């Protein structure tokens, strides 16, 4: 494993109310797919408890930017006390899930994933010089693009929840 740098640390959404959880998962997977990431499912846990369902779902999709750098986004969803409730949508009675969801998004950039520049301290030093000085403009550009992807995902989730959203500018890709 190469040098993993945390770019987005615990971007969090906390939501309680009616929600179709299957659609939420699909929406996130679709977003990840459209952005060109490969899917990696880390956790898919579901437990039926007395107060409703407990769900833990975690994916960490990745995307190679160059043969040296890749993005990793970690999306973790925790759902508590999820029960089915009746709602009226477009004049029709349907069932949706109701409960509390906590979504945590992290973003990482992994440099030198093949560990080619970690074989001795001198190479390690060269890698640090390269990342921080020689290739600095590109490194910052990569970081900004990852932040933009995560902001975009965050915004998508908020839209999906139909949350009260302040007017805000989604970061522009560099």
Residue 121 and residue 142: Cα distance in Å, rounded? 25
Are 37 and 59 within 8 A, CB to CB? no
Q: At what angle do helices 136-161 and 21-34 cross, to 10 degrees?
A: 150
Applying the rule CB under 8 A, the residues between 94 and 133 that interact with another protein are 97
User: Which of 3, 4, 5, 25 lies at the binding interface for another protein (CB under 8 A)?
Assistant: 25
Contact mark string toward another protein, 42..61, x via CB under 8 A: xxxxxxxx---x-x-x----
* Total chain residues near another protein (CB under 8 A): 25
Name 99's Cβ contacts closer than 8 Å, sequence gap at least 6. 16, 19, 52, 53, 79, 80, 81, 82, 83
In whole angstroms, the minimum distance from the beta carbon of 28 to another protein comes to 8
Hey, what are 153's tokens?
A: 């995902």
Number of H helices and E strands in the chain, helices first, is 3, 6
Site pattern 128..157 for another protein (x: CB under 8 A): ------------------------------
Q: Which is nearer to another protein, 48 or 119 (CB)?
A: 48
Which positions touch another protein (CB under 8 A)?
21-22, 25-27, 29-30, 33, 39-49, 53, 55, 57, 79, 82, 97
């Amino acid at each position: 494993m190469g040098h993993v740098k945390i770019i987005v640390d615990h971007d969090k959404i906390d939501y309680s109310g009616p929600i179709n959880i299957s659609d939420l998962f699909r929406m996130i997977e679709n977003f990840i797919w459209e952005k060109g990431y490969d899917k990696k499912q880390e956790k898919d846990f579901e437990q039926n408890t007395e107060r409703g369902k407990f769900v833990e779902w975690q994916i960490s999709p990745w995307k190679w930017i160059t043969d040296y750098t890749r993005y990793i986004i970690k999306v973790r969803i925790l759902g508590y006390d999820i029960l089915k409730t009746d709602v009226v949508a477009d004049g029709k009675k349907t069932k949706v899930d109701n409960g509390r969801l906590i979504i945590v998004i992290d973003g990482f950039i992994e440099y030198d994933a093949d560990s080619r520049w970690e074989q001795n301290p001198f190479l390690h030093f060269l890698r640090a010089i390269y990342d921080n000085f020689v290739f600095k403009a590109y490194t910052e550009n990569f970081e900004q693009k990852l932040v933009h992807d995560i902001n975009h995902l965050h915004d998508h989730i908020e839209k999906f929840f139909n949350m009260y959203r302040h007017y805000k500018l989604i970061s522009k890709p560099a």
